[in-house]
């Protein structure tokens, strides 16, 4: 048996056995178990589970690949996705824990004393979660396709079956402890090859130091990569092309989107005390930083290795085995345009190179960079298998959290709070599990036919979260006069504006998706920031034009603002 396949099976099957065992051992027996793990999770463990919930397939599989392709502009993802946790720790986590409800729509419904507001929040939560979960299931399919030799579609189905089992059996309680195990798997899988690569290429043990280190010939690795890029007609790796306004707005959208994501917020409902919510947010930031400070180094190592091992190499005799292995998945493609049997890698958009006959024949999917890195660099087979299990852990951990948001939004906020308030706890739990099952099937479909590559799809989810949830949560905590009319109008207008902008430029008319056509030069990835401001402005205007909230609601808001009271 192929050593890579053997080690992959060992790591993947072993980790799956652990996840299933945890789900059985922590089976949810009540709605409190299913929704918030009975508010009994230790803040350190909750920080670790939050890290796994957060570091999805986008973080593990796709972020480094995205940065390796776009270079310095990719810093917006690092800044936005980590900065969001500062907002969570300071502005949201302790206050929402003090409020003590099960879900984000639950907070919206109670704070804005309106079932209409609750229903709009349910729609927004489900919309955002499905957008996000599509990327996770795609990531699972990519991993299975390469390392277990199955089609991407079958890989998605396998992932669906596993996440359905432990999400519906264990609920939040099972998911929490499963995510702790998944964090351990994914962080080891991410750091081990990064350390290997850093030592191999720069002699530095820490990838963060290797990122600024030198190659064997004494050339700084970033300088070498800049030259490799420009020689092939690409922009220098360390030169950004995005406008300042677009960088700012994308970063802001990712930050407030992070703070507004329902599957992240709900994690802070699971700790015993209000103070634990802030502590667990700090631990989550630490656990996340271990991966995020390593990603830029992996991006540089990967792009350098890909260029050096493929460009101007004879396909039959010089192309390494990793290239041909990934060709079988369709995620690496070579089209010998000049029929010379040599792989050429040039910027297809460079007109001067095209006129000189320097044609690009190579296509590498962004989503394989981290997964292929160990093979590209000739690392041991067990490292390749470890990375495969880490990629699956990252995708499944986030998928489980998102599916729980969808199922609780349907069972608790829609049925229990609005449609059938007299149902028993047992019936409510059954509804939650059925909703999770239906959500898994829909998520699997989007995983098989995703609307983009993983990090791109996930970035859209952040824009939608920024424009829908963040303003109403912040204003619900800090402005007593925010009322139900303002909340409903703000959520609807903010979400519709952002979704319309994204859908138009990305799906209806992608040819028009250029800076000259963008509103104020803001790309679809950053438009969530504008949607957020529109949402907040509508809340202020409408709330001032309509009656204020009842006095008991204002008193409740006053009490929420003192999290230690």
Segment holding 416, helix H or strand E: none
- pTM of this structure: 0.80
> Is the Cβ–Cβ distance between 464 and 127 less than 8 Å?
yes
CA angle 376, 380, 382 (to 5 degrees): 115
Helix axes 115-147, 3-25, angle to 10 degrees: 150
Cα Rg of the chain, angstroms: 24
Residue 314: strand, helix, or coil: strand
Q: Note the pLDDT tens digit of each residue in 490-540.
A: 989 998 999 899 888 887 888 898 888 999 999 988 999 999 999 999 999
Residue 342: strand, helix, or coil: strand
**pLDDT band for position 544 (cuts 50, 70, 90):** very high
For residue 338, count CB atoms less than 10 angstroms from its CB and return exposed for 0-12, middle for 13-18, buried for 19 or more.
exposed
Token pair listed for 378: 């000739």
Amino acid 562: pLDDT: 67
Q: Which of 464, 514, 516, 511 is nearest to 492 (CA)?
A: 464
Half-sphere exposure of 545 (CA within 13 A, CB side): 10
Amino acid 452: pLDDT: 54
Tell the residue number behind the tokens 């959208």, with chain if given: 253
**pLDDT band for position 220 (cuts 50, 70, 90):** very high
**Helices assigned H by DSSP within 148-294:** 152-202, 207-210, 221-231, 244-260, 262-265, 274-292
Token pair listed for 37: 């793990």
Q: What CA–CA distances, in Å, run from 351 to 23, 125, 237, 359?
A: 56, 44, 19, 10
Amino acid 458: pLDDT: 63
Q: Note the pLDDT tens digit of each residue in 92-117.
A: 778 877 877 667 788 888 899 988 88
DSSP for residue 333: E
Residue 186 CA to residue 371 CA, distance in Å, equals 12
Name which residue leads in pLDDT, 332 or 90.
Answer: 332
Residue 191 CA to residue 339 CA, distance in Å, equals 40
Name which residue leads in pLDDT, 418 or 198.
Answer: 198
Amino acid 271: pLDDT: 82
> Is the Cβ–Cβ distance between 280 and 47 less than 8 Å?
yes
Q: Note the pLDDT tens digit of each residue in 337-385.
A: 888 899 999 988 888 887 777 888 888 877 777 888 888 777 888 888 8
Query: Is pLDDT of 274 > 50?
Result: yes
> Dihedral angle at the C-alpha atoms of 252, 81, 124, 486, nearest 10 degrees?
-30
What's the mean pLDDT in 171-180? 78
Identify how many contiguous H helices and E strands the chain contains and give both numbers: 25, 4
Name which residue leads in pLDDT, 412 or 539.
Answer: 539
Residue 55 CA to residue 50 CA, distance in Å, equals 8
């Amino acid at each position: 048996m192929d050593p890579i396949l053997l080690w992959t099976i060992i790591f993947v099957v072993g980790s799956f056995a652990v996840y299933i065992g945890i789900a059985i051992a922590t089976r949810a027996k009540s709605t409190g178990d299913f929704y918030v793990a009975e508010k009994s999770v230790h803040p350190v463990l909750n920080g670790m589970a939050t890290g796994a919930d957060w570091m999805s397939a986008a973080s593990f599989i796709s972020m480094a690949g995205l940065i390796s392709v776009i270079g310095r502009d990719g810093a917006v993802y690092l800044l936005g996705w980590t900065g969001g946790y500062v907002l969570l720790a300071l502005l949201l986590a302790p206050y929402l824990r003090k409020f003590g409800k099960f879900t984000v729509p639950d907070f919206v419904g109670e704070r804005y004393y309106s079932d209409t507001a609750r229903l709009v929040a349910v729609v927004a939560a489900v919309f955002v979660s499905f957008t996000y979960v599509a990327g996770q299931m795609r990531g699972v399919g990519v991993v299975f396709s390469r390392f277990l030799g199955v089609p991407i579609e079958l890989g998605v189905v396998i992932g669906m079956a596993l996440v359905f089992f432990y999400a519906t059996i264990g609920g939040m309680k099972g998911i929490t402890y499963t995510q702790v195990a998944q964090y351990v798997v994914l962080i080891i899988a991410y750091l081990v090859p990064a350390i290997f690569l850093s030592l191999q290429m720069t002699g530095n043990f820490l990838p963060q130091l290797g990122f600024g280190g030198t190659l064997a010939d004494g050339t700084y690795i970033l300088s070498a990569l800049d030259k490799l890029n420009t020689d092939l007609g690409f922009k220098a790796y360390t030169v950004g092309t995005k406008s300042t306004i677009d960088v700012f707005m994308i970063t802001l959208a990712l930050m407030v989107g992070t703070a507004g994501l329902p599957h992240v917020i709900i994690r802070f409902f699971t700790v015993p005390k209000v103070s634990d919510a802030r502590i667990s947010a700090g631990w989550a930031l630490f656990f996340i930083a271990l991966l995020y400070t390593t990603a830029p180094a992996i991006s540089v190592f990967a792009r350098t290795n890909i260029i050096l091992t493929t460009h101007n190499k004879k396909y039959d005799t010089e192309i390494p085995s990793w290239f041909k292995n990934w060709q079988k998945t369709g995620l690496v493609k070579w089209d010998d345009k000049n029929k010379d049997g040599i792989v050429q890698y040039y910027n297809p958009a460079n007109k001067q190179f095209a006129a000189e006959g320097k044609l690009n024949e190579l296509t590498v999917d962004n989503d394989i960079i981290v997964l292929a890195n160990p093979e590209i660099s000739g690392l041991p087979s067990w490292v390749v298998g470890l990375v495969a299990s880490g990629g699956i852990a990252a995708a499944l951990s986030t998928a489980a959290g998102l599916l729980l948001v969808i199922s609780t939004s349907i069972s608790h906020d829609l049925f229990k709070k609005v449609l059938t308030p007299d149902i028993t706890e047992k019936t409510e739990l059954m509804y939650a599990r059925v909703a999770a099952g239906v959500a898994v099937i829909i998520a699997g479909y989007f995983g098989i036919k995703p609307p983009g590559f993983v990090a791109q799809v996930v970035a859209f989810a952040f824009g939608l979260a920024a424009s829908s949830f963040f303003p109403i949560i912040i204003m619900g905590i800090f402005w007593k006069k925010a009322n139900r009319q303002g909340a409903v109008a703000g959520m609807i207008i903010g979400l519709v504006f952002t979704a319309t902008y994204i859908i138009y430029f990305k799906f209806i008319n992608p040819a028009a998706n250029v800076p000259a056509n963008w509103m104020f030069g803001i790309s679809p990835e950053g438009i969530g920031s504008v949607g957020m401001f529109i949402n907040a402005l509508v809340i202020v205007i409408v709330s001032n034009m309509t009656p204020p909230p009842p006095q008991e609601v204002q008193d409740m808001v006053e009490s929420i603002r003192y999290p230690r009271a």
